[in-house]
Structure formats: C-alpha cells, structure tokens
Structure 1
Amino acid sequence: MDAYRFSISWSRIFPSILLFFLLDGTGEPNEEGLNYYNSLINTLLDKGIQPYVTLFHWDLPQALEDRYGGWLNSQIVYETKLCRDDFVHYASTCFKEFGDRVKHWITFNEPHNFAIEGYDLGIQAPGRCSILSHIFCREGKSSTEPYVVAHNILLAHAGAFHTYKQHFKLLLIILIVKLSKCEYRFLDPLMFGHYPPSMQKLVGDRLPQFSARASMLVSGSLDFVGINHYTTLYVRNDRMRIRKLVMNDASTDAAVIPTAYRHGKKIGETAASGWLHIVPWGMFKLMKHIKEKYGNPPVIITENGMDDANNRFSKLEDDLQDDKRIQYHKDYMSNLLDAIRKEGCNVHGYFVWSLLDNWEWNSGYTVRFGLYYIDYNNNLTRIPKASVEWFRQVLAQKTAGLEYSGSTVASS
C-alpha cells in the first residue's frame, strides 16, 4: 500500500465554540486538532505512504449552520465586508498547515449524497426535507434546497481550487463524485461550465444559474476526477411521474426509476447492504462513459468495496475468511484494468473502501467493509481478514490472477 485517504474534520480545526464567539466565522485554528493531523500525516510519510486528504466529508461546524444556515447560504462561498468565504478560509488553513507534506487534496466527498440525503430526504445532517407534507422533517424544501446546496458546493470547490492554485502550485485538487446515481449535475459544470441541458429542462427555474464569471471559475477546476463506485443499477423511464407528484422533491426530477431487475432477472448478487449489488462490468462501462463524454480526464477510484453483515452470532474464523470480498475486488479491478488497456481510460489510482471495519453513515456498525476485522468488544483490536493477504500478493507478487500495473492502489 502506497497511499492512504482520510478526511479532516472542519469542526476539529475550527471548533464551534471558537466560531460562535467570533462574528467573522473564522477564529484561530485549534492547536490540538492541527497536532492530531500533523502526527497522522508524519506517521504515514515515515512509512512511505502518501496521504490523500479530503476536506469536507459532511461535518459542517454547528456554529455556521446556526448562524446562517450553512450550505444554504452563499456566505459560506463568497467573501463580503463582514465575513470571509468560510470554506475557502478553512481549506486554506489546512493547506498552509499541511501542504508542505500533503500533495493530493480532495475538496468534497460525494456532494450529491450530501445534498440529497441532508436536504431532500432528511436522513443525514442537517435533516431538512418537505416530502409528504413535512411528515419526516420540521423544516426544509425538498424541491429546491438540494439544488441550492449543490450549487454552493460547486462554487466553494471552484473558489478553493483557484485560491490553492494561486498560492500552492504543486497541489492536486480533486472533487469526489459517487457515480452510481445522477452525478453529472456536478461533472458537467466542472467540465463544461453549465448544468446538463436535460437537467435544466426538467428542473426549470428551481435550478440556480451560473453567472458568466462563475461558469469560467467552475469549468476545469480540478486536476483529477475522484470516483466512489460500488454498484450499478438499471433505470427505466418514469412515464407517469407518479413518484414526482407524491414526493415533489429533487430526487424524482430525473424522471427515471432505478431498479435492480430487468426482465425479471436481478442485475447481480447483493452484499450485506441491500443497495449494493455486485456488478463488476459496471466499472468498465463507467470508465468508458467518462472517457467518451468528458474527454478522458485523469481519474482516481477513491472508493470501491463491499460489506458483510456484522453478525454477533457468527464465528470469528468465518468473518475473517472473506472470500466474497476477494472475488468482488478481483472482478472490479479486472474490469478497471480492461478499461485502461482496451479503452485507454486515464485511470491513475484505486482506493479500497475500507482498510478497517468502521461506522457507516446509514448502517452504523451493522455492516463491515474493512480488510481488517475490528473487534469492537476487545479494545478495537485489528485482525487481518483473508483479503489482506490477497491484496498483499496482488501488490507485491503480481499473483492471485490479477496483474498490478504500478499505479496507486491504496485504502481509505
């Protein structure tokens, strides 16, 4: 393993208690937080591992949410006479503190999921939605707020990108998208400076518009495309639009219905999570599509993996013999290599999700994605699963039926 991806917590660098008492929304960085990440970065480098750092993985300081509504307010993006553009200020602080050692930076993790789950469905922070007449959330507007949030994320990303390029010329900037859903709302602006025409038609005046200057700033504002890819689904045309009438939200604007079945046949075996269907050929088709639509940009697979159920009654030896995970990675990596060799796709790296069993956003500790088993009842002891040895052979000995080309293969 030659690279490790982790996220910095904005709240750990600028705790809310500091932000609350300073009206400009900046404050002084928390030394304990800086020391924590400095120690992690230095340890990785000492072991010959390059850090790939994500700046925002859905944890906004509470003070910014309380003061002006967080990502719903353009104050988080634009500098005014009374305040800084808070995201750029936070990101610049990280670059100044860690940029002498960290050369690969990721601005936002899965902005689509953050916007939809936080502001359309209300199942993630800040828990805003209006579906079914506010039966699930007290506040929010599911038909508009996800678009406002996504728009502000794109502007914040672009602002940070150009600020970094001005002051830190050697840095590589990435925006991670999770391409199993309609993430082209992010890639199209980043590549072309505008939203997809089909999206503009379907969403209409609910979709924020880029000014001419903003379009220029957003277009081309990345060095790599980071892709989190786990699964593939079929879609069919939502001709009746009944879901749209019932939900009246952003997620149904696409006018398609995702499904795992076609002609009565399931698209692939399911992992522990019901949404994760194992479809290795989806990786090949996705890479080919990105090459053809976006001019073959540099790509890093920033997450790829599958989960097993965390069954309290299962035997440890059974949990450690994760043959299904080995087959998953073997098949997905084989398809990725085919895309590189047969189609010339410009893929530079591959990160496994995840190195360790961990807490998952929508599943908690009920599933295990890790190459290492974590014993939650025994001081978080780490025990390697069979997949660890398989990856070791792939990387070091070029065996296990899968060649290794020398690009970055790593863990998150």
Structure 2
Amino acid sequence: MRIGFPRWVCSCSFFLGLFLVDSKTHTSFHEEVIKRSDFPDGFLFGVATSAYQIEGAYLEDGKSLNNWDVFALSPGNIENGDNGFIADDHYHRYLEDINIIQSLGVDAYRFSISWSRVLPRGRFGDVNPNGILFYNKILDNLLFRGIRPFVTIYHYDFPEELEDRYGSWLSPLMQEDYVHFAETCFKNFGDRVKDWFTMNEPNLFTQMGYEKGTYPPSRCSPPFGNCSSGNSDIEPLIVMHNMLLAHGKTVKLYRRDYQHEQGGSIGIVVDCFMYEPLTDNDFDQEAANRILAFNIGWALDPLIFGDYPSEMRKYLGDQLPRFSSDERKFMKDGIDFIGVNHYATLYAKDCIHSICSLSGSRAILGFVDASKERDGIPIGAPTGLGSLRVVPRGIREVIEYLKKRYHNKPMFVTENGYSDPKVDDQVQNILQDFDRIEFHKMYMSSLAQAIRDGADVRGYFVWTLMDDFEWRLGYTPRFGLYYIDHQTLNRIPKLSAKWYQDFLKNNTRALEIQDS
C-alpha cells in the first residue's frame, strides 16, 4: 500500500515550479451500481497483501532481520511503537487466510516473497529451505483452490545485511543481489507462478527512503527531512537507477532462461497518482504533465522506451544518471504488463510563470493544506491518510494516461483501497464499513468506463485482504476487508467482505447492501 506523498517528486516539482493539492470530487459518497458483468469475460478480481505487512514470525525458521525489522526497533520510526514482528501472524495462519481468500470467490491473489526468509544473507549465504517450503505451501494451496497467484518478488523488504555491507540500493552491488534473489524465486516457484512483478512501487520507496527519510534506510537532507545522513537531491536518482537496472537484468534473465519453459509473464508495480491542472490555463496543464512524467514516467519510461523521460532530462541535466547503449537495449520493452497502484488524485499548479503563495516548509516541498477548498467546493472525501482523497474519476484518468503514453500496454490495477478516516476503536463500527463498499463501487465503475473506452486492463486487486501493518503508520490505518483483533489475531469479516463476495457472484444483493 502507498503511504505518504511523493516528496522527492514534489521537490522536483518545486524546482519545476509546481505545487500540489488534492483534487475535487464528490462532496459525499453516493451509491453506484456496478456488477461483475460490467467487466469483460476473463477479467480477474483479487485481493492483495505483502510479506512484511502480514507474515510476522520475524526471526523464525531461519529468517534474518530485514530492513523494516531494524527500522522498527528505533523509537519514533513507527507510529505507536508498532512493528511487524507478529503482524497478522500469516506465517502460522496461512491456511486459514487462504480459506478466507477462497470464500470470497476471487480469481487471484497478489502477495510477495520475503527476501530475508528465502535468502537470509543474500548472495552471501545459502537458500533457506524453510522459506522455500513456506511459499511452496502457499502456492500449492492457492492452486488447489483454483486461485491464480500473482507474485511480487520485492515489496520494500530485504536482508539488513545488504544495507550493512554496502548500502543496499545506493550501490550497484544491490543489482546483483536482487537478480540472484529473483532467479532463486524463478527456480523454486516458476513452475507454478505465471504472473511476476519484479518490484512494488520503486518510485514511492525511493522517495520515502531517500528523500523524505520516513522509510528505511531513513536517509535525507534538509529541507526535506532531518536525517543523520543522506542527500535528498541526488540519492533518490541513484537508487532508482539501480532498481531499474536490477529490474532490467532480471527480465533479461527471465526471458532468456525461464519464460519459454515456464510460460509466465513479468512486469512491475508503480505508484500512480493522477494529477490534474488546478486551472484550465496552459501553464497548469503543462505542470500536471510534468509531474506525471516525474512520478510515473520516471519508473516506466526506461522500461518501455529505454530511457528516462525527456521532461526529467530537461530539468535535471547531468544529475540524472544515464544508461549505456547496451543497457538501453535490454531495458527497452522490459515489461509484459504494468501494475497500477492508485489511491489519490492531486492538483498541479505552475510556479514557473506564476506566483505560488506558499510559506515555510510547504513552500519548499510544494504542498498546500489538502483541507482547503477551491471555489467553495470541498476537495474530496478523506481516506484516513491525511491528504489522500476519494476521487473515483482519477482511476479512469490515470489509466487513460498510461494507455496513451505506453501504447495501451496491458495493465492490472494491483492496489486500490480505502482506510476509514475516523479513528474508531469500536469493533462494531469498524465492521459496518459502508464507506469502503461505496469506495470500491465508485472506483470500479470508473475503471469499467476506462475499459469500455479501450484500455487494456485485465484485473483489479482490492487492497487489502485484512487490516495489516501499514509501514510507518503501523496498525492505525485499516484497509482490510477483514478486521484483525490484535489480542486474539482473529480474522473478522467486515461488511465489505460480504459485499465483495456477493459482487463476485454477480449477486444483486451486493447492489442493495447499503439499504439493508
């Protein structure tokens, strides 16, 4: 799940003359009529999770400390002092969770592999047979129940030893460690996994870990954050370059040695905000286009066209790393499909030709308080994560942008979800999650329209199966279809779980649940 804002992009937007606020939308939720039959035959519906957010068992059966384990040990890094040491205890309850997934009636399940569980010391140690066994059991049980696994190889977590040895993603050595990890997954799981994602949101992880410093390894520099070390202007560019090359080398290896025999496909998951111009003038439109290039194009252009967006090169010049001619060749056309994580839509305003009336750190970061209103219209409904707002048209618009920029490359919506903005510990109120139901109705309806307009979107994954560890925000946000009682670790279905189940059956009750 995507938490926070693209602050490194926003720092670029500051230099580019942008500032961002949340986009307007419905003043309140309203009922949408959406049916499974509104989607094409063969369209996949699923749920998504990630290893660190649900597994727990952080030092069991040969797993080593990973970067998030270490980050959570430092006071103040995670809200409420939370950590993922137990999380949802999926490591011990995976059969129960797979039964829940099956009961929903989904076609597919997206999950990730814990790098430190499979290769506790990276290239510097042996494969952990207990880690391989764990994921084999998950895969075999999913397939036995007719559920298609979508596997993310890297979802933010890696062995801490790689950070200690050479600085992880700041070093080209991390490329080789990643390729070794990916090949270990292909060798052990590729006979059953036909849908691979190399990485989850490299554009977001880079910004949060190396520009703002709120993810490990917590590197940043003023004015973006107050870290003990780092350079918020340069390091995000280096890290992203290494991540993209790691992806490119992995895809080259997969296509050469595994794809034909195993019959799978491989892509990447990108954090995809939508940006709209604040006004109708040309300058604001150009600003929106620039910020889309700096966020989405930064991750995808090299993997489809072989190089970074021209918009980035224009403003960053030699600060932006360069691919060699050989690298451009294997990077180009380096994905079979795009994973789209979409949660929010923001406004973009030009500050090159205009005066932006901001002050203090927000002027430097390029943000305006998202609670502001424009022309007296409330800007969206909040999702429980500060300035993230419910803007259903945004998913249609970002899909349209991807369709045009990348020649309608096949897409999966790999994450879309809602966290109740109210801090409410009353279980009955948490379980009666009407707003989550309406959120998914509205976003699905907008997505269905994008598909009718010709977008090659092939699946939709709800974030998330169950309330989980939401990175630096700990357990406060609740995105799950199932509530987790952290005293008992019982999984309790919310109303949205029943709604999704009915929706997947094309049951008309799913359309009437709000009135029941």
Shift of 1:265: 3.0
Q: What secondary structure sits across from 1:138 in the alignment?
A: coil
Residue number among 381, 386, 399 corresponding to 2:508 in the alignment: 399
Partner in structure 1 of residue 268 of structure 2? 175
Q: What secondary structure sits across from 1:119 in the alignment?
A: helix
Partner in structure 1 of residue 221 of structure 2? 130
Residue number among 408, 411, 414 corresponding to 1:299 in the alignment: 411
Compared CA separation, residues 349 and 400, structure 1 to 2 (3 A): farther
Partner in structure 2 of residue 317 of structure 1? 428
Partner in structure 1 of residue 201 of structure 2? 110
- 1:324-361 Cα offsets, whole Å, 9 max, x none, are 000000000000000111x1100000000001011101
Matched, 1:355 2:465: yes
Shift of 1:321: 1.1
Percent identical residues: 44
Amino acid at match of 2:499: W
- 1:275-326 Cα offsets, whole Å, 9 max, x none, are 3200000111111111112111100000000002574642x22211111000
CA distance in 2, matches of 1:295, 1:135: 38
Partner in structure 1 of residue 324 of structure 2? 211
CA distance in 1, matches of 2:130, 2:221: 39
Compared CA separation, residues 215 and 264, structure 1 to 2 (3 A): farther
Paired residues for 1:195-344 under 5 Å: 195-239=308-352, 257=367, 260=370, 261-308=373-420, 311=423, 313-314=425-426, 316-341=427-452, 343-344=453-454
Q: What secondary structure sits across from 1:225 in the alignment?
A: strand
Compared CA separation, residues 326 and 247, structure 1 to 2 (3 A): closer
Shift of 1:399: 3.0
Partner in structure 2 of residue 385 of structure 1? 494
Alpha-carbon contact 2:502-2:510 (below 8 Å) kept: no
Q: What secondary structure sits across from 2:461 in the alignment?
A: strand
Which residues of structure 2 form unaligned runs of 5+? Answer: 1-105, 274-291, 512-516
Partner in structure 1 of residue 245 of structure 2? 155
Compared CA separation, residues 242 and 323, structure 1 to 2 (3 A): closer
Compared CA separation, residues 244 and 66, structure 1 to 2 (3 A): farther
Compared CA separation, residues 247 and 264, structure 1 to 2 (3 A): closer
Amino acid at match of 2:502: Q
Q: What secondary structure sits across from 1:208 in the alignment?
A: coil
Matched, 1:9 2:118: no
Higher RCO (C-alpha 8 Å, min separation 6): 2
Partner in structure 2 of residue 373 of structure 1? 483
CA distance in 2, matches of 1:172, 1:268: 37
Compared CA separation, residues 309 and 127, structure 1 to 2 (3 A): same
TM-score (structure 2 length as normaliser): 0.70
Compared CA separation, residues 349 and 259, structure 1 to 2 (3 A): farther
Q: What secondary structure sits across from 1:351 in the alignment?
A: strand
Q: What secondary structure sits across from 1:308 in the alignment?
A: coil
- 1:178-229 Cα offsets, whole Å, 9 max, x none, are 1016221111112211111111111121110111111111111111100000
Q: What secondary structure sits across from 1:97 in the alignment?
A: helix
- 1:107-162 Cα offsets, whole Å, 9 max, x none, are 11011111111011111010111123x97211111110000000111110010011
Alpha-carbon contact 1:143-1:248 (below 8 Å) kept: no
CA distance in 1, matches of 2:420, 2:490: 18
Alpha-carbon contact 1:238-1:257 (below 8 Å) kept: no
Compared CA separation, residues 184 and 141, structure 1 to 2 (3 A): same
Shift of 1:397: 2.4
Q: What value does the CA root-mean-square deviation take over the aligned residues? A: 2.3
CA distance in 2, matches of 1:209, 1:387: 47
Residue number among 251, 254, 266 corresponding to 1:164 in the alignment: 254
Amino acid at match of 1:357: D
- 1:4-30 Cα offsets, whole Å, 9 max, x none, are 1111111111113xx5xxxxx342101
Compared CA separation, residues 242 and 204, structure 1 to 2 (3 A): farther
Partner in structure 1 of residue 229 of structure 2? 139
Alpha-carbon contact 2:152-2:199 (below 8 Å) kept: yes
Amino acid at match of 1:75: L
Amino acid at match of 1:183: I
Shift of 1:245: 11
Compared CA separation, residues 308 and 135, structure 1 to 2 (3 A): closer
Matched, 1:90 2:181: yes
Shift of 1:248: 12
TM-score (structure 1 length as normaliser): 0.87
Partner in structure 2 of residue 120 of structure 1? 211
Alpha-carbon contact 2:211-2:225 (below 8 Å) kept: no
Shift of 1:94: 0.7
Shift of 1:238: 3.0
Alpha-carbon contact 1:374-1:383 (below 8 Å) kept: yes
CA distance in 2, matches of 1:201, 1:244: 27
Shift of 1:258: 6.8
Partner in structure 2 of residue 47 of structure 1? 145
CA distance in 2, matches of 1:401, 1:333: 13
Q: Which moved more, 1:284-293 or 1:154-163?
A: 284-293
CA distance in 1, matches of 2:430, 2:188: 40
Amino acid at match of 1:275: S
Compared CA separation, residues 336 and 401, structure 1 to 2 (3 A): farther
**How many pairs align?**
379
Amino acid at match of 2:302: P
